[in-house]
Structure 1
Amino acid sequence: MILNRLVLRLLTIAATLLGVAVVVFVIIRVAPGDPIAMMLPPGATDDDIARLRALYGLDKTIVQQFFIWLSGVLHGNFGTSISLRQDVMTLVLARLPATLELSTFALLIALLIGVPLAVLGARERGTAMEGAIDVVNGAVMSIPDFLWGLVLILLFGVLAPIFYISGRVSPDINLQFSTQFYLIESILRLRFDVTRDLMGHMVLPALALALPLAAIISQLLKMSLKEVITLDYVTLARVKGFSETQVILREALKNAALPTLTLVGVQFTFLIGGTIIVERLFSYEGLGNMAIDAVINRDLPLIQGIVLIFALLFVLINLTVDMMYALLNPRLRHG
């Protein structure tokens, strides 16, 4: 059952990525603006324009350009950035770890906030405490992540400058990183001073991304808990003398968490997409910040590479969540 599900999802992933590649390739080429004109200085001749168009393959039809690009992608070649004059895959892989670390940190913050609030709301169901939690969740969800970023910059970067509000790491840090996963590498190399600096740069953008997700997790998990705690096996646990908190944590939470797992996976993909604006807001050196520069400069190969990598991340995360749900759900596991 799980193997068949995996094969079906892999076929779906291939079709999805092909569809994304076609749509993005066509849209960015029919959009107004000429990337070659942006590269050339004033007074460039028609021959200069023609040579650059030929260099980047823009002198061919859209269909020819697409199949040339797709053939390169299948061989691991995403082309050369028009604005940066570097290999697209090298640029993307250099920025992707920063975005993954930021997104994962934001997800952990969201879980640390959302799960305790859900448990508290379920334990205090029917009271003013539950109503207050619902009001807070609704207010937090109604504010987008980039606006939370502006609020956090004002609070902790201007009024009370506790955290960094720009960059990924301080320029005076004396550590030659071997990989682009700075946070993980600093921990493995026991350079906790560097870890603190990296966390100081990450905490505000991560919190801006995490707050709306934490409210969603809290609301859905609380609803699932309120459904589960009415079941017979939970009632039996109460008869055995467990406190309400023990009943929720030991008996109800593991079953109520399954629907939330699916939501977390879906929302995590949106969270990664949300890093585009938040990274720009905090000048964080991630893939989202690079995506905005690529759009401004009409860097077609770089835009295509970034979008395709984002799409690949989305489908892989959804695949992972789907497989985890199948493994954790006994009915699907033994079906």
Structure 2
Amino acid sequence: MGRLSGTMGASECQVLLRKKRGGGRKSLKCVGGEGGKWFKECLDMQIGEGDFFKFWDHCWVGGKKLSERFPRLYRLCKNQDGFISNMGEWLGEVWEWKLEWNRELRERERAQADELLSSIKEINLHAGMKDCWRWKHTPNGLFSVNSAYKAFRQARSENGTNCEQMDFKKLWKAPAPHKMKTTAWRILKGRMATCDNLIRRNILAANSNSDCILCKSQLEDLNHLFFSCQITCDLWKEILSWIGIQTAMQRTAKENFLAFSNLGDKVDFHFMACVWICVVWCIWKARNDCIFSQASWNISKVVTEIKTRTWSWTQVYKQMPQSLDLKSWMIKPKVIE
């Protein structure tokens, strides 16, 4: 979904929030605690007629539910489950609040009721306009993927440690051999023996040939080798095509793993994570073969190895689907719908 066609209606927003909460966007959970919280904080309520938002149970005024701010009044209210529009009436073009109680209010309760009325009088209802949500990060209030991505990146940078821990937890839970997960973990930590790292540690001389062995046109550093080199970018495209997904790939290890492993729904995470681990492991293995065994890069061979390895893991790890034979798996894994 690139952009909603109009300002989000309240019911549309609830569906979207449920998808964020229960779907594969686990990365949202590392920003702000529980799933969906970050997304909610990007939204503003716009009150129209008050025919969708609940008077007591939505945070429509003062940043907190009225049932929590005024618990005693909530217990005394006749209509605890009512909408905003149920708590008053239009007198011509003027809205007048009319709250009804189960008994006459006592002195302290009347003081609380005055405070409540003072709070809600700041909100103007609009006849003929539906309640809706507005997206905070665009001038027109319309949701867009671009604005959401920028807001999410900013939130991640403010909570970088928690996100990093979440990335690593996902990695170690993936259904793949331990030695391959260890290699992937070293990639996420930037601890691979790429040419730039070897020069930095004085293992290679500064004037030694440090070009990428695959494209032979740029310095071999970790992000270039695995995610920016044209040769490995073509490999990622082949794998995405095999899975049946089209997306732009991130150019740093952590962002790439986070984006790739969350491309599917919740049930697809194990598959996506193990594919990512297998791809980076096979890239590293092929790179070493080119350097130490004078082999040539063969994309067809690497793609075949990735497909056969991931299929073999389906026979070992219970988290992975086991319904396809190898021939069908090589054509399309049919994991993500």
TM range (shorter): under 0.3
Higher relative contact order (CA 8 A, sep 6+): 1
Structure with larger Rg: 2
TM-score normalised per structure 1:
0.21
TM-score normalised per structure 2:
0.21
